A and B are shown apart, each in its own frame.
Chain A
Amino acid sequence: MAATGRDAVIREASRGRLPHWLGLLNGPQTLGRGPGFWIGFVLSVLAAAAYPLFSDGWTVGNTAYFFTWIFMALGLCLIWGYAGALSFGQAAFFGLSGYAYGVITLNFGAAHGLTLAALLLSVGLSSAVAALLGYFLFYGRISGVFLGIVTLSVTLVFSTFMAQTAGPEWTIGTARLNGYNGMTGMPPLTVPWFGGDIPLYADVPLYYVLLVSVVLCYLGLRILVNSRFGNVLVAIRENPQRAEMLGYDIRRYQLIAFVVGSSLAGLSGVFYTTWGQYITPSSMGLTAAAMPIVWVAVGGRTDLTATLIGTLFVLAVFQNLTIYGSQYALVFMGALLIAIVLFLPQGLVPGLVQAVGRLSRGKGRKETT
Chain B
Amino acid sequence: MNPILLTKDLQKNFGGVQVARNVNFAMRSGEIHCLIGPNGAGKSTFFKLILGEHQPSAGSIFFSGEEITNYPSFQRIQKGISVKFQVPGIFKELTVWQNLQIAVQQHLEGSEIDREIEQVLNFIDLRSQAYERAGALSHGQQQWLEIGMAISVKPRLLLLDEPTAGMSPEETFKTGEMVHRLNQEGMSILAVEHDMTFVRQIAHQVTVLHFGEIFAQGSIDQIEANDAVAEIYLGTSDVK
Contact flag A234-B94 (CB < 8 Å), given A8-B131, A246-B103, A247-B153 = yes
Q: Are A239 and B131 in contact (CB under 8 A)?
A: no
Give the interface segment out of B4-12, B74-82, B173-181, B198-206.
B74-82
Instruction: For B91, give its contact among A11, A235, A244, A249 (CB under 8 Å).
Output: A235
Residues in B neighbouring A247, C-beta threshold 8 A: 74, 77-78, 106, 153
CA distance A15 to B77 in the complex (A): 31
Does A5 sit at the interface, judged by CB under 8 A?
A: yes
- A242→B74 contact, CB < 8 A: no
Q: Which of B51, B74, B78, B90 has the most CB of A within 10 A?
A: B74
In the assembled complex, A241 has its CB within 8 A of some CB on chain B: yes
Closest to B111 in A: A15
CB of A47 closer than 8 Å to a CB of B: no
- CA separation between A242 and B83, bound complex, in Å? 9
Report how far A28 CA is from B93 CA in the complex, Å. 12
Encoded as 1 (CB less than 8 Å from any B CB) or 0, chain A from 212 to 233 comes to: 0000000000000000100110
Task: Note all chain B residues with C-beta closer than 8 A to A28.
Answer: 94-95, 98
Residue numbers in B under 8 Å from A239 (CB-CB): 89-92
- Contact of A8 with B97 in the complex, beta carbons under 8 Å: yes
- The residues in A between 1 and 40 inclusive whose CB is less than 8 angstroms from any CB of B are 1-5, 7-8, 11, 15, 20, 28
Query: B55-106: which have CB < 8 Å to A?
Result: 72-74, 77-78, 82-83, 85, 89-95, 97-98, 101-103, 105-106
Contact B77 A7 (CB under 8 A): no
Q: Does A245 contact B (CB under 8 A)?
A: yes
How far is the CB of A241 from the nearest CB of chain B, in Å? 6
A245: contacting residue among B51, B91, B130, CB under 8 A: B51
What is the count of residue pairs linking A and B with beta-carbon distances less than 8 angstroms?
83
Number of A residues contacting the other chain (C-beta, 8 Å)?
Answer: 28
Say which residue of A2, A20, A232, A242 sits within 8 Å of B89 (CB atoms).
Answer: A242
Measured between beta carbons, the chain B residues less than 8 angstroms from A235 are 91, 94, 102
Interface residues on B, range: 20 to 34
B209 at the interface (CB under 8 A from A): no
Give complex CA distance A238, B134 in Å.
12
Q: Residues of B contacting A242 with CB < 8 Å?
A: 85, 89-91, 149
Q: Is the CB of B131 within 8 A of A5?
A: yes
Residues of A contacting B92 in the complex (Cβ-Cβ under 8 angstroms): 238-239
Q: With A3-B97, A7-B131, A8-B97 known to touch, is A245 a contact of B110 (CB < 8 Å)?
A: no
CB neighbours of A241 from chain B (8 A): 85, 89
Which residues on the A side are within 8 Å of B82 (C-beta)?
Answer: 245
In the assembled complex, the CB of A11 is this many whole angstroms from the nearest CB of chain B, namely: 8
CA–CA, A246 to B102, complex, Å?
8
Whether a CB of chain B sits under 8 angstroms from the CB of A248 is: yes
What's the Cα separation between A64 and B36 when bound, in Å? Answer: 66
Determine whether B133 belongs to the interface, using a CB cutoff of 8 Å to chain A.
yes
Closest chain B residue, CB of each to CB of A232? B102
Give the chain A neighbours of B72 by CB distance below 8 A: 249
Contact A3 B95 (CB under 8 A): yes
| Bound CA–CA A213/B129 (angstroms) | 41
Do residues B102 and A245 form an inter-chain contact, with CB atoms below 8 A? no
Mask, A239-263, CB within 8 Å of B = 1, is: 1011111111110000000000000
Q: Complex Cα distance A7/B133, Å?
A: 13
**Closest 5 CB pairs between A and B?**
A247-B77, A5-B131, A238-B91, A242-B89, A235-B102
Question: Can you show 27 pairs from A to B with CB atoms below 8 A apart?
Answer: A2-B94, A3-B94, A3-B95, A3-B98, A4-B95, A5-B131, A7-B97, A8-B131, A11-B114, A231-B98, A231-B102, A235-B91, A235-B94, A235-B102, A238-B91, A238-B93, A239-B92, A242-B85, A242-B89, A244-B77, A245-B83, A245-B85, A246-B103, A246-B153, A247-B77, A248-B74, A248-B106
Which residues of A are interface residues toward B (Cβ below 8 A)?
A: 1-5, 7-8, 11, 15, 20, 28, 228, 231-232, 234-235, 238-239, 241-250
11 other A-B residue contacts (CB within 8 Å) besides A3-B98, A250-B74: A1-B93, A3-B97, A3-B131, A231-B102, A231-B105, A238-B94, A242-B149, A244-B77, A245-B83, A247-B77, A248-B74
